[in-house]
Structure 1
Amino acid sequence: MSLVGRFVRLYSAKPAHPVGPDGRMALGDHFRELRARVLRAGSFMIVAIAVALYFFDGLYDLVFGPYTQAVEKLPEGSSLATTSGPAGGLMLYLKLCGFAALIGTAPFWLYQVWAFILPGLHASERKWSRVFVAIAGPLFLVGIVLGYVTLPKGLEVLIALNPDGVTNLVDFGNYLQFFTRTLLVFGLAFEIPVFVVMLNLAGVVTGKQLGAHRPWIIVGIFVFAAVATPSADPFTMTFMAVPMVVLYLISEVIARYNDRRKAARKPNAGLSPDEISAI
């Protein structure tokens, strides 16, 4: 086999052995598929980093926009710095472009993960998983956008806590980590309704149980928002908590509807062993 043929084979996820009637594959074919999908995602990531380097100025303005807005509202603000020595500027480029490439290529590498797992699922599991992916993706993006909008206020509060006469030198790497963690927390927080509905479909919780514990769950949501948000001001916490409460109430309605649908199909499904059925 030529060198080009071997290179192409590395990126091929096609099994080398016949697939069984029940969809089972040889162990070696599973590893070949995993290798191919990792190489595809990695190669696509490298190309995306190169593209991000070309658009570095725009990415820099986007990521550090919240920081700039926060500093402009303070009499004695803060300054960005690189503390990685002579290579600090290079690391700034690589970290920022790597982060942008990871986010930008998310649909592609998530598809590779999905395509690797999908053959092992049953037909009903595939159907529900497609529904959850279609809902979870937009909710995650909404959470990220909301986190980006509220981030300047959180940074303003945190930077304002510096004593008079003290300049806050923010390391680039620390800020990028703070920026990423904040957006990730907001994005994951909006996945709570999806998780609740999944538990209901799995039979772990019912809509009635969710309603009975609703006050405590709402309190827990506000506590989570207070801990997860980067600042101590009530506005940022409210911006996260209120949408989460609304989404939780929607998930409770969906769970109650699903329970009624199950009860209509199996009238005695919710009875305990000590209860008498209608029959």
Structure 2
Amino acid sequence: MPIGPARMPLFDHIGELRRRLTIIVVSLLVCAIVVYFATPALIELMMDQIREAMRGGDLYVFTALGGFTIRFQVALFFSVIICAPIIIWEIMGFFLPALKPSERKWVVPTVAAMVVLFFLGMIFCYFVIQSAAFGWLLDQSFEFAQNLANAEDYLNIYMMLEIGFGIAFQLPLVIFYLSILHVVPYKTFRSQWRYVYVALMILSAVVTPDASPITMLLMFAALIALYEVALAVARYIIVARDGKAALKWSREDYEQHALDND
């Protein structure tokens, strides 16, 4: 990953951003074209977890262009999954010059952790969330109407849930870095846990694209578990690196400590 200088003129920053966005877009389009031909099998894989909740089990397309649109959306969805390492790598590369040399050592582990957490979020959603979410949604109309499974509607909800959980599972990294860089003192995270839990509940409601309380509660439980794990790891690193007193440090205390050790 080439690293640009930390200070550049505005238009150089824009050019760097354009270059990295071009790499991302071209990667996604090339991958989508290749994946397009495998979309029927991929759609069958996607439907495996929700067919049990569907009464008929068949998908319906209601427009002439519907089939092409759905296949391209599914191809693009899987392209995002396949190209996730490239996307994350290029985004990190853009912000890398702003980091101190001592902080750049965290870049490769961070990229690896982001990719792993993204896939973990999607796997969790596939095996735990999809069936429960669609089961609850379809049960709401069971007593008064018959559901015709609009393929575009079903698959869009499916893909938004998967992407939403993949992104939501990045939370531990945010908490981890806010803690070890003392942007937010570790003690604050621990003492204000009630407010954090409420914020996680709101985030769960916002990120989940369906109206299912089952989906929201399952995401909320997952985010709490990830939050606590992230804080436990951050505590271990802070204490091992700077001592137990550092758990109360502010960002200014951390920077002063770094200056004193230089």
Q: 1:63 — aligned with what? A: 46
Q: 1:262 — aligned with what? A: 242
Q: 2:64 is paired with a residue of what secondary structure?
A: helix
Q: How many residues align?
A: 247
- Which 10-residue stretch deviates more, 208-217 or 85-94? 208-217
Residue 173 of structure 1, CA deviation: 2.9
Alpha-carbon spacing, 1:163–1:257, altered in 2? closer, same or farther (3 Å): closer
Gaps of 5+ in 2: 251-262
Alpha-carbon spacing, 1:164–1:250, altered in 2? closer, same or farther (3 Å): closer
* Contact 2:185/2:248, CA 8 A, preserved across alignment: no
Q: 1:111 — aligned with what? A: 89
Q: Which of 1 and 2 has greater Rg?
A: 1
Q: 1:275 — aligned with what? A: none
Q: 1:50 — aligned with what? A: 33
Q: 1:5 — aligned with what? A: none
Alpha-carbon separation, structure 2, partners of 1:159 and 1:145: 22
Amino acid at match of 1:245: I
Amino acid at match of 2:228: L
Q: 2:186 — aligned with what? A: 207
* Aligned mate of 1:169, from 148, 158, 174: 148
* Contact 1:136/1:194, CA 8 A, preserved across alignment: yes
Q: 1:131 — aligned with what? A: 109
Amino acid at match of 1:209: T
* 2:181 is the alignment partner of 1:198: no
Alpha-carbon separation, structure 2, partners of 1:107 and 1:114: 11
TM-score (norm 2): 0.74
* Contact 1:226/1:232, CA 8 A, preserved across alignment: no
Q: How does 1:72-151 map to 2 (within 5 A)?
A: 74=55, 77=56, 80-83=59-62, 85-149=63-127, 150-151=129-130
Residue 151 of structure 1, CA deviation: 0.5
Residue 147 of structure 1, CA deviation: 0.7
Alpha-carbon separation, structure 2, partners of 1:167 and 1:267: 57
- Which 10-residue stretch deviates more, 145-154 or 245-254? 245-254
What percentage of aligned pairs have identical amino acids?
26
TM-score (norm 1): 0.71
Residue 52 of structure 1, CA deviation: 0.9
* Aligned mate of 1:154, from 133, 151, 175: 133
Q: What does the per-residue CA deviation read over 1:195-225, in whole Å, with 9 as the maximum and x for residues that have no partner?
A: 1122112323333322223345345545654
Q: 2:160 — aligned with what? A: 181
Residue 62 of structure 1, CA deviation: 1.9
Q: 1:168 is paired with a residue of what secondary structure?
A: coil
Alpha-carbon separation, structure 2, partners of 1:166 and 1:32: 54
Alpha-carbon separation, structure 2, partners of 1:43 and 1:23: 26
Q: 2:165 is paired with a residue of what secondary structure?
A: helix
Q: What does the per-residue CA deviation read over 1:32-77, in whole Å, with 9 as the maximum and x for residues that have no partner?
A: 5555444443333332122112212221112222332321xx4xx5
Alpha-carbon separation, structure 2, partners of 1:210 and 1:266: 14
Q: 2:253 — aligned with what? A: none
Gaps of 5+ in 1: 1-12, 271-279
* Contact 1:263/1:269, CA 8 A, preserved across alignment: no
